[in-house]
Amino acid sequence: MATQRLGIIMNGVTGRMGLNQHLVRSIVAIRKQGGVLLSNGDRVMPDPILVGRNAERVAALAKQYGIERSTSDLDAALKNPDDTVFFDAATTQMRTDLLTKAINAGKHVYCEKPISDQLDKALAVAKLAKEKGIKHGVVQDKLFLPGLRKIQLLNESGFFGKILSVRGEFGYWVFEGDWGQPAQRPSWNYRKADGGGIILDMLCHWRYVLDNLFGNVKAVSCLGATHIPSRIDENGKAYKADVDDAAYATFELEGGVIAQINSSWVTRVKRDDLVTFHDDGTHGSAVAGLTRCYTQHRVNTPRPVWNPDEPQTMKFQDQWEEMPDNTVYDNGFKVQWEGFIRHLVEDAPWKFDLLEGAKGVQLAELGLKSWAERRWLDVPELKV
């Protein structure tokens, strides 16, 4: 069994996502397990070169994780024909320019979402990728979470009957940064000029979650809010939060399914997980979090009676059955990386390309427009 090398130029690995999910939990983990197994028994070993503005910082990271190569010179890295893939998890604002440069240098590309903060730029880079015939992918990590994979299993088994509606609750309290509690998210998330805003961040995710699990998104109505207009940044300085920190959205899906998803960095959690999806179908309902999923079949559905004169006697939380973990669920980012590497090397099927990424940007853009214009908007089909 042979092992082949795959040279990957990794940009943005000093950031939260780049470091934790892509470098440590994905590429370093894949290297430790001996590479990605192909269908013929061969393996692919990623050989990354870490790229960042600060040469010393990326060199230190490389050393820490047993990686031989790092640089602060992206242009030089792109000139190396032995590194055939470019990956980007740095700032959203620069993404399409970097992808364009890499594609023009003949590289395959893989990147974080959103692929841009503007649909026209997202489509232009998807078009370029198609014209140049390179392989491309975008992170759609939520689909690889155990909780959502369980929803997919319920779908495939016909558990729901006809799906009627989906209610998603995403969010948690992000500290303002004052009274001794530093914020848990970088301050750029709250500045428009830096690609911030929860609509741009989360509607990209909801697009692929809804399209893939419940039905293609046909229309959107979205109300955003900036509940907390001033926050404290990483350096202890007050700044103006000029983008939405909560979004209250409703979607019409193919097949008549209604989806409502609240996304908020300004809510305190009293639910099983930081995101939950409650799905009601004619034959059964399910509630999935990141990891767990609970079901209630029509034959197990209790008969509550509305009586405001008596305290509730039914324990609704106890009336659901948890789905078992019948398989081992690896880190979702890693699973997606492995899928992309198989797509690169043995042409394995791959759906999550830049056009799918553009669809996320499209929904975010329409969500913002719906909010600004206070109206429902249809979601046109995208093509490149």
Binding site for ligand NAD (CB under 6 A): 12, 14-18, 53, 89-92, 112-114, 139, 141, 186, 188, 201
DSSP letter at 266?
A: B
Within 10 Å of residue 187's Cβ, how many Cβ atoms? 18
Which CB sits closer to ligand NAD, 15 or 224? 15
**Nearest-approach distance from CB 83 to ligand NAD, in angstroms:** 18
Residue at 266: amino acid letter = V
Q: In the sheet where 284-288 sits, what is the strand order?
A: 321-322, 293-297, 284-288, 275-281, 163-171, 258-264, 246-253, 217-225, 377-378
**Nearest-approach distance from CB 68 to ligand NAD, in angstroms:** 20
**Nearest-approach distance from CB 333 to ligand NAD, in angstroms:** 8
**Nearest-approach distance from CB 357 to ligand NAD, in angstroms:** 11
Are 134 and 108 in contact, with CB atoms under 8 Å apart? yes
**Nearest-approach distance from CB 53 to ligand NAD, in angstroms:** 5
**Nearest-approach distance from CB 29 to ligand NAD, in angstroms:** 17
Cα–Cα nearest to 194, from 233, 227, 235, 228:
233
* Angle CA 333–335–339, to nearest 5: 115
Give the integer Cα–Cα distance in Å for 123 and 380: 13
Which CB sits closer to ligand NAD, 30 or 145? 145
| Secondary structure of residue 86 in the 3-state scheme | strand
Which CB sits closer to ligand NAD, 53 or 63? 53
Strands 238-240 vs 230-232: parallel, antiparallel or unpaired:
antiparallel
**Nearest-approach distance from CB 18 to ligand NAD, in angstroms:** 5
Specify the residue for token string 């489509």. 123
Instruction: Tell me how far CA of residue 78 lies from CA of 43, 71, 73, 161, 314, in angstroms.
Output: 24, 11, 9, 50, 62
Which CB sits closer to ligand NAD, 131 or 242? 242
Handedness of CA 154, 155, 156, 162 (dihedral sign): positive
Which CB sits closer to ligand NAD, 186 or 345? 186
**Nearest-approach distance from CB 157 to ligand NAD, in angstroms:** 28
Which CB sits closer to ligand NAD, 159 or 265? 265
**Nearest-approach distance from CB 175 to ligand NAD, in angstroms:** 16
Instruction: Tell me how far CA of residue 240 lies from CA of 4, 144, 247, 248, in angstroms.
Output: 50, 35, 18, 22
Distance from first CA to last CA of the chain, Å, rounded? 39
**Nearest-approach distance from CB 234 to ligand NAD, in angstroms:** 9
The separation between CA 197 and the C-alpha centre of its own chain, rounded to angstroms, equals 15
Which CB sits closer to ligand NAD, 107 or 154? 107
What lies within 8 Å, CB to CB, of 227 at 6+ separation is 245, 246, 266
Cα–Cα nearest to 366, from 351, 383, 384, 381:
381
Which CB sits closer to ligand NAD, 94 or 348? 94
Which CB sits closer to ligand NAD, 139 or 217? 139
Which CB sits closer to ligand NAD, 7 or 186? 186
Spell out the alpha helix ranges (H) of 13-85: 16, 29-32, 55-64, 74-79
- How many residues are there in the chain? 384
